[in-house]
Every structure is written in C-alpha cells, then in structure tokens.
Chains A and B, each alone.
Chain A
Amino acid sequence: MDLIISDYNYWVVIFIMMTGLYTTLATSNLVKKLLGLAVFQTAIFILYISKGKIIGGTAPILIDQPALYSNPLPHVLILTAIVVSVATLAVGLALVVRIGTAYGTIYDTEIRKQHDAETRAKGNKKA
C-alpha cells in the first residue's frame, strides 16, 4: 500500500502509457492509432517531469543558492520531446490523409481487405 501511495506518479504514468499503447495496437482506425501513440508519448513526458519536480522547491534562477530547487533539465528535455511528438503526429496525420484519398478508408482492416483482393486478382490472372 505504501508503495502505491508514495510513488503514485509512476502508477499514473504506467496506466497512461499502457492505455496509449493498447489503443495503438488494438484499434483499426488509423487516426485513433496515432492518438494512442500521442497518449503513450505523453506518459513519458509525465515520467520525466515528475522526476524533475521537488515539492516546495523553487526554480534555481535569480536566487543565490536556493535551499530547495527543482532540476530544470528534465523540463527542457521534454520540451524537445514534445516538439518531436507533435512533428510525428503531423507526419502521421498527413499520411492518413493520403491513405484516405488513395484507399477511400482509414480503417486498417478495410485496407488489408483491398490488399488481399488485389493479390487474389493477380493470382487468378496467372492461373
């Protein structure tokens, strides 16, 4: 019980992370896949940020030698990771738009059906 309460931030992170990963793998809607991925990445951001936060700590700027301060570096790193995640989402959504126009659907299962039909058509031609 103590483990759960004192380290609750990690449990939150694990829960969000797994939710995201599950969404990515389980859904056949490509947009939802990307959203799952975004949730998954957000959990990593929380992991970094919660590690850098000390309750009651200040920012180590403008004060000479503060007694208790939070490490700003994880926040800066995560700023970079957020940019990366936004870029990934943008590229992913652009791809989904093009998939939508090329196939007329954004469902994984439908796309696979079309691929199968194509392969079968080729096989028939050969025979």
Chain B
Amino acid sequence: MNQLASLQIIIPLIAAPVCILVYHPRITWLIATVTSLFSLVIALMLLTDIGDHGVISYAMGGWSAPIGIEFRIDMLNAWMLVIVSGISFFSLLFAYTSIKQEIEESRIFLFYAGWLLCLTGLLGICITGDAFNVFVFLEISSLSSYMLISMSNIPRALTASFNYLILGTIAGSFILIGIGLLYVMTGTLNMIDINTSLATINHSNTIHTAFAFILIGTLLKAAIFPLHFWQPNAYTYAPTAVSVFLAGTATKVSLYVLFRFAFTVFGVEYSFGMMHLDIMLMVMAIAAMIIGSGVAIFQTNLKRLLAWSSIGQLGYIILGISLLNIQGFTASLLHLFNHALIKASLFMAAGCFVYRVGIANTENLKGIGKSMPYSMLAFIVGGLSLIGVPLTNGFISKWYLLLAALDQQAVFIIFIILFSSLLAIIYVWRIVEIMYFEEPTDATRNIKEAPITLLLPTWILVFANIYFGINPQFLTEIAGRAAATLLGTVK
C-alpha cells in the first residue's frame, strides 16, 4: 500500500517533539524547514498521483472505512495540501531572520515545535475523510496557532491570542456538536458514509441543526465578515512570519472544511437546494467585500490593513461558491491559492518594514520607499496582484469570477466585484503614496534595506505571483478539476 498519505501527517507530527528535544534555535529552524519541504514534496507527489490514477483512499492503521479512519484524497484535498505545505515552507524561510527580532532566543525552539504542530493539524484537516478526525486536527492546529500568536513580544498579542482562543474554541465546539448530531442520525463518522445514509433518511430538524452548527463553526474559524472579530488583532500583533503562515493557510483550511461538509457530507441538493446556502454566502460575501476593503482604507497599521483586506478577499472566495456554477467554483478554488500567495507575499513585504522600523504604521513608513526600494517594489507588485491587474495571478481569479457572474447574468455582482477592486486600489495606493511620495523623515532616511534573507523569500513569492499570472494554465486546470470533483462527489 502506498504510504504517502500517512507520511504527510506523521513527518511533521514526529518532527515537532524532536524540535523540543533539540532545543538549539538554528537547528530547530532547519528541522522545521526541511520537514515542510518534505510535506510539500509529498503533497506534490500526491497531486500528480491523483491526476494520473484518481482518488486515493488510505486506511489508517489498516482498518478500512467506515470503521477505521479513512484518508481520502481527491483533487481538492491534494490542492489544499500543496497550498498549506508550500506556504509553510516559504514562510519558514522568511521566519529565520524575522523571528529573531520578535521572539526571545530561549523560546525559539518552542516556536518551531508549535509551528510544526500547527502544520500537522492543517494538513490533517485537509487529508482526512473522517468527520470526527476533522475536529481533532482542527483543535491541534488551533491550539498551536494560539500559542504561535501569543509568542510575539508585543503585550497586545496576548489579548489577541486570548480572544482568538475563546472564539476559536466556541467555533470548534460548534463543529463538534454538529458532527455529534450527524453521528446520532447516521451512526457513522465517515464522510462518504454519512452522505449515503443521509440520502436514505428523512431530513429532520436534527440534520438542519447539525448543518447550522457546522456552518457557523467553520465561518467563525474562517473569519467571514460578521464573524471576523478575532482576526484583525490576531494578524496584527502576531509575529510577522505567523501572520504570513496563518493568513495564507488557516482561514483557507476552514473554508475547505465548509466546502467539504456542504458538498461531500450534506450534498449539493441539501446544502444549496434545501438550505439555500448560496443566498446566505452571497450576502456575506458582498458584505465582506465592501466592508472588509472599506475598513482597510482607514487603517494606519500596515499589518492591520492587510488583515482587513484578507476579510474582503475571503469574500471573493465564498462569492465564487455562491454563484453555483462550475466557473464560480473554479474561481473560488483559484482564488484560494492566489490569495494565499498574494497575502503571503504582502505580509512578507510588510515584515521587511517591520524588521527595520519596529511597528509598521503610517507614521514610521513616511518616504521609506527611497531607503528600502526592493521591499517597496515587492509590496507594490503584491498590491497590484491584490487589486487584480493583468499579468498578475490576482487578475486570473477575478477574471474567472467575472465570467461566472456573467454566466449567471448577475450584473449587480459584477458591479460589486469592480467596486471592491476599486476600494483595493484606494487602500494600496494610500500606502504607496505614503511610502514613496511623502518626504522621508530623519528616521526613515537612514534606514537600510532589509537583509537578503528576508528579501529572498519575499521575492520568490512575488515572482510566483507574476509567473502564475502569465502562465495560469497549470493552475486553472487543477482548480477546474478540483471544482469538478467537488460537484462530482454527489452526482
């Protein structure tokens, strides 16, 4: 039997305690990075394997489904695994230098151990085909991310982490209740099995309740607009490398859980036909796109601005799903990847500024473009990609989204997409203006460019943004196939 699926989880899980035993800051960094690289390679191998042979089903411990825990990997899972492990690898490259300044040296080994646990949890959520297993991995990733956020030396990181802990635990508990109710009704925890049993039983109030609990739980974890309270503070005060990692992966993985439950477990006919999830998601998406981007305009802290922009951008992802056609799903899954890439490169660019000026607020950044040109350029390219300018990957996902909206003849939606992009132009331009055209203060004039160890990972991701903007075929093909599997699981 092919053991790749279990290795995907086991390698980071074992590497985490090894980090604690090793203790030495640099060596633990090396362990974490090599582990992430392994995960990325395994995820890519799984992706090609699925491309050639179709769905992989792996029985954990040799116990086959529905009694044992099944790892079921289709195009969508493999796609998520690549995103999570890829972002983890590149943000670890960035972390090496940036963490030194933000965390005491004696605690760095704990930081990387927590990072690996978080990676394990996120990969586990994506790979598993068992509903209860999702909850367990969700809590593994959540608990370690609370710890990662609180490690920053800014006191406010503690309260941000605490608020995230309260809301994250409520979200996790809601998902647990939902899964419990589903188990009560179907007597099984395997996702495919639940789906087949649900088809045979009448839809009672218990199922509706389970659906509602899981929906609210996942939306809360994904920081979708009215349930986003924990997110801006958590991203602003966390160590920058953690912001890069979490912004790129954690909320996306929660959205994946939502998609998985809505499509695979409950089925399209139930979620969208009976419960009208599409209408609810569309309202939330529109609110997120306008309010998220709108609030971002007024932020003075660069990281907080990016956090609010994330809330807006997640709106695009759920908008694609709510349009209920294959282009919409493709656009959603494309933007899942593209936004992870864009936001990671933007947070890295912000991290370069943080490394030099401490707190990246508009006061400290005046005219900094002249003394830090490379970080500045990375931020501009990332910003253009965020707006959706052609030749960047942000354009590709927005283009697909517009096609999907045109297909539904939803003129209003097209207008909203364009309006939200306009807001994005405003908040990116505002920062660019401050950093480039304002007169440098005495403090910013003498600042040196960020060290090469920070610039290199930033620019790798920036080039990836441009590369996937010019050669999108590979991405669109995978996203298209993943979207097809999402629909195919019920038909």
Contacts and interface: CB of A to CB of B under 8 A. Distances in A.
Interface of A: 21, 24, 30, 33-34, 37, 40-41, 44, 47-48, 51, 74, 77, 80-81, 84, 87-88, 91-92, 95-96, 98-99, 102-103, 111, 115, 126
B180 A44 contact: yes
A98 B153 CA distance: 11
B169 A95 contact: no
Given A91-B165, A95-B161, A103-B155, 12 more contacts: A37-B170, A44-B173, A74-B183, A77-B180, A88-B139, A88-B165, A92-B166, A92-B169, A95-B150, A96-B162, A102-B158, A111-B159
A37 B163 CA distance: 12
A87 to B, nearest CB: 6
B177 A44 contact: yes
Nearest to A87: B143
Nearest to A90: B143
Contact of B136 (A33, A84, A126): A84
Contacts of A24: 166, 170
Contacts, number: 70
A40 to B, nearest CB: 6
Which 4 pairs of residues, A with B, have the shortest CB-CB distance? A102-B155, A84-B139, A99-B158, A95-B162
B182 to A, nearest CB: 12
Contacts of A88: 139, 143, 165, 169
- Grouping DSSP codes into helix (H, G, I), strand (E, B) and loop, the B interface class, with mixed when no group exceeds half, is helix
B184 interface: yes
Contacts of B173: 40-41, 44
B183 A81 contact: no
A81 B136 CA distance: 8
A74 B179 CA distance: 11
Interface of B: 132, 135-136, 139, 143, 146-147, 150, 155-156, 158-159, 161-162, 165-166, 169-170, 172-173, 176-177, 180, 183-184, 363
Nearest to B164: A95
B158 A92 contact: no
Contacts of A51: 180, 184
Contact of A37 (B135, B155, B158, B169): B169
B150 A98 contact: yes
B286 to A, nearest CB: 28
Given A84-B136, A99-B159, A102-B155, A47 B363 contact: no
B162 A99 contact: yes
Nearest to A88: B169
A52 to B, nearest CB: 9
A47 B158 contact: no
Give the residue among A95, A103, A115 with the most B Cβ atoms within 10 A.
A95
A92 B170 CA distance: 13
A87 B138 CA distance: 13
